[in-house]
Amino acid sequence: EAQVTQNPRYLITVTGKKLTVTCSQNMNHEYMSWYRQDPGLGLRQIYYSMNVEVTDKGDVPEGYKVSRKEKRNFPLILESPSPNQTSLYFCASRPTGLSNQPQHFGDGTRLSIL
């Protein structure tokens, strides 16, 4: 089954404790992206990656890092989490060859930073 898998689904942690949210897709997609969803703001893009070793900032990259060492994986790293990063996070992927192909989304990761 084609899917985007995120882990963990839920996490409660404390300010300053480094965490990583993993994202993996099994569709051989070149493009992957991270979004955060906040009430009244919709989804905002954090980082995206066009392919292996190619990443770029989205609209709200501050406080986040990403890496793309393999095509299937695109982890989101919070080096020193802060309460304003409490949010619902989504990973997404799609092929880049056909520009109108929709993105496939993971089921989300709800982070609470205390």
Partner 1 sequence: GDSVTQMEGPVTLSEEAFLTINCTYTATGYPSLFWYVQYPGEGLQLLLKATKADDKGSNKGFEATYRKETTSFHLEKGSVQVSDSAVYFCALRAKGNTGFQKLVFGTGTRLLVSP
Stretch that binds partner 1, among 19-27, 44-52, 61-69, 73-81 (CB under 8 A): 44-52
Question: Is 62 a binder of partner 1 (CB under 8 A)?
Answer: no
Residue 1 binds partner 1, judged by CB under 8 A: no
Return the closest-CA partner of residue 74 out of 45, 43, 103, 48.
48
CA distance 110 to 92: 15
Span of 11-19, 21-29, 39-47, 73-81 interacting with partner 1 by CB under 8 A: 39-47
Answer yes or no whether residue 4 interacts with partner 1 by CB under 8 A: yes
